[in-house]
A and B are shown apart, each in its own frame.
Chain A
Amino acid sequence: DAGVTQSPTHLIKTRGQQVTLRCSPKSGHDTVSWYQQALGQGPQFIFQYYEEEERQRGNFPDRFSGHQFPNYSSELNVNALLLGDSALYLCASSFPGGGTDTQYFGPGTRLTVL
């Protein structure tokens, strides 16, 4: 039973560029959440997707957008990258309707903005 997977593992971009991060949820999970974790900090909630719609959003600018596909996988897009966007981006999946409503996390994508 595969867990949450994310790609790529590492990414280096320059300021002003755009980036897309990908997440495949754990088998049977239909809800995907994204978090940003700066070095030495706890993860910060970006947004959550369910049934291909953004269900909840944290305090992040519109530069951060997402998408969920019919197979429940998800993408996180960040436009006009800033140095401060350098962080570990974590994806978590859950299945609220099935009693497995705990969020399970993937290994993350380490984004470095130069």
Chain B
Amino acid sequence: AQKVTQAQTEISVVEKEDVTLDCVYETRDTTYYLFWYKQPPSGELVFLIRRNSFDEQNEISGRYSWNFQKSTSSFNFTITASQVVDSAVYFCALSDGGTSYGKLTFGQGTILTVHP
């Protein structure tokens, strides 16, 4: 069965610090997709990134970067020079069964608080 674990329940940093959110997943499928979503206090899940199991290239988008390592079943998310607006709950999610549009299995989430 698929499973996503976000070991960090809460992280607190001061603005401009770098922060890494950890995500470890379990699946028996060879084709799967990994996602990160951000949930601000408003409640809506905001899509950040999608990665498929065949693409282990790291990705950088502005202050965000993602490190995907199949060998350790990890898909970690780093925010560089954090800002107060980054404060939110971040979820890592997995879609297996060979598609990216099927059931998403979410981790428990990491609450990130960035202090000014």
> A residues within 8 Å of B by Cβ?
31, 33, 35, 41-45, 48, 56, 58, 88, 90, 92, 94, 96, 101-108, 110
Contacts and interface: CB of A to CB of B under 8 A. Distances in A.
Interface residues of B, number: 23
B43 A56 contact: no
Given A101-B100, A102-B100, A103-B104, A43 B45 contact: yes
Given A41-B108, A42-B107, A42-B108, A104 B47 contact: yes
A108 B109 contact: no
A48 B102 CA distance: 8
Interface of B: 4, 35, 37, 42-47, 50, 91, 93, 99-109
Nearest to B35: A102
Contacts of B47: 102-105
Nearest to A93: B101
Contacts of A45: 103-105
A104 B37 CA distance: 10
Given A96-B101, A101-B99, A102-B50, A107 B91 contact: no
